Structure 1
Amino acid sequence: MNFPEIDPVLFSLGPLQVRWYGLMYVLGFAACYFLVKKQIKETNNTALARHFENLNFVLILSVVLGGRLGYVLFYNLPYYLRNPLEIVATWHGGMSFHGAVIALILAGWIFCRVTHLNFWKTADIYVVTIPIGLGLGRIGNFINGELYGRVTDLPWGMVFPGGGPLPRHPSQLYEAFLEGIVLFVLLWTLRNKPLSANSHRWAHGFLLALFLGGYGFFRFCIEFFREPDPQVGYLLGSLTMGQILSSAMIAGGFLIWWYRKGR
């Protein structure tokens, strides 16, 4: 299949360029905003409603900073040690979702401690909306022709502009489907479901645990079809950095599930 050559720039206003990838971030944040607000109204969570706008600002900032610093630390630290000014050059690309998750959880926990919000309840409300942003972000990667997959002879293999002459897995679309659509439907459906016949609903924190485990599992599997970052390659045999970090996410999800079990 031929790669659909979509101009990464949606439109330009003089020197200002609006790119599809940036638009996907905006749409993802907007979707999270409205769906969290919907849940606040459904649950009549007045405590979270009072801090809603401030928490959103903190979380958006943590996504950007954590995603960038995660990429620097996990994927290209030697380069950035030699070129420290490039760390702030986010327009050159380079974001790590695993880094963003660490920053989100840490910033959310600190904010909840300071404002006396229930961290586990708040995390569950927000985490069920995150897959929407993930799915949109992967579509943005696809439009940019980046983070493509490994060489394949399957009928839907695509020749990406920067991937050489051979067809490759459109792994960005695999991720958009599993990490975006499937994970969102799963979490959104389960958010008000009882854990068992003897309980009224999931213990707070279980949806966070399910998100970490679900994303980690899907990402670990898709990494077998995704081309490793050239500056990192394979680690621990045939594993990629993404698989190592995803394994840590799965372990983290299991630990949270175990800790919150029965609460």
Structure 2
Amino acid sequence: MIHHPRPNPIAFSIGPVDIHWYGIMYVLAFALFIILGRVRIRTQPHVQAQGWTNSDLDDMLFYGMLGVVIGGRLGEVLFYRPDYYFSHPLEILQTWHGGMSYHGGFIGVLIAMALWASKRKRNLLDVYDFIAPMVPIGYACGRLGNFINAELPGRMADPSLPWAMEWPGITDHLVHPSPLYQMLIDGILVFVIMWIFARKPRPRLAVGALYTTLYGCARFFTEWFRVPDWETHVFGLPITSGQVLSLPMIVAGLIMLFWAYSSGNRQPAHA
């Protein structure tokens, strides 16, 4: 058995302002996006050939931050706990307590990138291909923030499991540390695969499509170990809220992958 470390969610305070670990994880995610993006621009010739610059990256980050925060919070409100938040509307703004939906953030970032692409006269598919390899590591940071906050507890675990964990607020059984599963599988593992795949030139949309597919599949798997926000049944089989939201990603990702490789749509150098 492993005990949850129960760290203080507040990392430090500056006068009356509390700085939460959850917020620090988001800052770290955005910083890693910039660092990894600059590595791609500097070391990958096919990325350089498309004319990507550090200035593009910095400008894109502002739009992406808005998409993640606004989309992620609205997704949490609308997809998972609408009754609660509509009864407590002021808590919608209290993001430092956690409660961000990945799927809502994903949609928010797509909208934000569409606005940025329109502003900079870029093909949206090229933008998606460029940012996709940097996204999973940011997701991993968010899941670490969930773990620090003792959010998203896992399902009951066999006590013989070496990493079965005692979880704050759960006294009668041990659980799977599901935020760590999702950090490692949905985040770090998907990042490694995406980074390797994106190092070589691929057909337009192939990189973005692979990320959509991989994340959907990884999330569908790790959801089995997490206590669902809500659960339904399809053909008599239980399916969680996260799996319901991941299925469209898997289907869309596979369709996009087929289109990318069947169309021979190579990414051109940026004029």
TM-score, normalised via structure 1 length: 0.89
Q: Distance in 2 between matches of 1:46 and 1:21?
A: 35
Asked if the contact 1:48/1:122 (under 8 Å) is kept, the reply is no
Q: Distance in 1 between matches of 2:250 and 2:53?
A: 28
* 1:78-97 aligned within 5 A: 78-97=83-102
Find the counterpart in structure 2 of residue 25 from structure 1.
26
Name the aligned partner's letter for residue 176 of structure 1: M
Find the counterpart in structure 2 of residue 191 from structure 1.
198
Q: Distance in 2 between matches of 1:176 and 1:85?
A: 29
1:70 aligns with 2:75: yes
Find the counterpart in structure 2 of residue 198 from structure 1.
none
Q: Distance in 2 between matches of 1:47 and 1:191?
A: 15
Name the aligned partner's letter for residue 211 of structure 2: F
Describe the SS at the equivalent of 1:18. Answer: strand
Distance 1:186 1:169, change over 3 A: same
Structure having the larger proportion of residues in strand:
2
Asked if the contact 2:204/2:260 (under 8 Å) is kept, the reply is yes
Asked if the contact 2:75/2:101 (under 8 Å) is kept, the reply is yes
Asked if the contact 2:129/2:208 (under 8 Å) is kept, the reply is yes
Asked if the contact 1:145/1:162 (under 8 Å) is kept, the reply is no
Distance 1:50 1:28, change over 3 A: closer
Name the aligned partner's letter for residue 25 of structure 2: M
Give percent identity, aligned residues only.
40
Residue 150 (structure 1) shift: 0.4
* 1:114-125 aligned within 5 A: 114-125=119-130
Distance 1:61 1:81, change over 3 A: same
Asked if the contact 2:30/2:61 (under 8 Å) is kept, the reply is no
RMSD: 1.8
Residue 85 (structure 1) shift: 3.2
Q: Distance in 2 between matches of 1:96 and 1:79?
A: 15
Asked if the contact 2:76/2:101 (under 8 Å) is kept, the reply is yes
Distance 1:211 1:118, change over 3 A: same
Q: Distance in 2 between matches of 1:149 and 1:211?
A: 25
Kindly report structure 1 stretches of 4+ aligned residues shifted beyond 6 Å.
none
Name the aligned partner's letter for residue 141 of structure 1: N
* 1:114-263 aligned within 5 A: 114-153=119-158, 154-193=161-200, 201-229=201-229, 232-234=230-232, 236=234, 237-261=237-261, 262-263=264-265
Residue 21 (structure 1) shift: 1.7
Asked if the contact 1:223/1:240 (under 8 Å) is kept, the reply is yes
Q: Distance in 2 between matches of 1:30 and 1:131?
A: 13
Describe the SS at the equivalent of 1:204. Answer: coil
Residue 124 (structure 1) shift: 1.5
5+ residue gaps, structure 2:
266-271
Residue 165 (structure 1) shift: 2.8
Tell me which moved more, 154-163 or 34-43: 34-43
Q: Distance in 1 between matches of 2:55 and 2:145?
A: 33
Asked if the contact 1:159/1:165 (under 8 Å) is kept, the reply is no
Residue 48 (structure 1) shift: 5.0
Match of 1:58 among 63, 73, 79: 63
Describe the SS at the equivalent of 1:152. Answer: coil
Describe the SS at the equivalent of 1:257. Answer: helix
Asked if the contact 1:48/1:117 (under 8 Å) is kept, the reply is no
Q: Distance in 1 between matches of 2:116 and 2:238?
A: 39
Tell me which moved more, 141-150 or 61-70: 141-150
Residue 28 (structure 1) shift: 1.0
Find the counterpart in structure 1 of residue 113 from structure 2.
108
Q: Distance in 1 between matches of 2:145 and 2:52?
A: 35
Distance 1:240 1:188, change over 3 A: same
